Structure 1
Amino acid sequence: GNLEGDQNVAVMFANQGLYNGFLAAGLIWGLIIGFNPIGYMVQLFFVICVVIAAIFGGFTSNKSIFVKQGLPAILALVALLSMM
């Protein structure tokens, strides 16, 4: 294979992993804060970020990303909104 191309793909996957780690950390942070207005807003913000990332990924990369990443996030968003 193309060594430079392989390295570029490895960097892209590392960046995606880091990005997903930050999203997960934000969601965990929201849960640690608890179910109060601040914790709720933190959870809502990060779930919406995941939904947007899934929509973007579905359009730009692979349509299955929308189902795999977006569906759980949309369900979490609906659950959060039902708690208002």
Structure 2
Amino acid sequence: MFLWTKPKGLKTFRMNLEKAQATSVLAANQGLYNGFLAAGLVWAALHPDAVFAKQLAIFFTACVLVAAAYGGYSVSRKIMLFQGLPALLALVVILLG
């Protein structure tokens, strides 16, 4: 979101500056969604009610997993590895814990 048109963002997402500038609004939207997912997971980690905190963690981790599945299907299978696998492992830990 913040580095989309910067050298690090261009390298990470293998884009040129022109494409990055043309898609910067989409990147900001995606970054905002990711921020909400992160806020939900922080909320889960800090909530004093353990049962509700676990429900929050399951919901928001599942959201990350669904986003990774869609990204893997629609953009690149690498997304499933880098975003989906950690989310799946986290979900398993949450469900077992």
Shorter-chain TM-score: which interval?
A: 0.7 to 0.9
- Stretches of 4+ moved more than 3 A in 1? 5-8
State the Cα distance separating 1:34 from its structure 2 match: 4.3
Structure 2 Cα separation of the partners of residues 48 and 34 of structure 1: 21
Structure 2 equivalent of residue 62 of structure 1: 76
Q: How many residues align?
A: 82
Task: From 9, 12, 20, give the equivalent of 2:23.
Answer: 9
Structure 2 equivalent of residue 36 of structure 1: 50
Structure 1 portions without partners, runs of 5+: none
Structure 1 pair 23–59 and aligned structure 2 pair: CA distance change class (3 A): same
Q: Report the aligned-residue RMSD.
A: 1.9
Structure 2 Cα separation of the partners of residues 43 and 70 of structure 1: 15
Structure 2 equivalent of residue 72 of structure 1: 86
Point out the structure with the larger helix share.
Answer: 1
Structure 2 equivalent of residue 81 of structure 1: 95
- Please give the TM-score of this superposition, normalised by the length of structure 2: 0.76
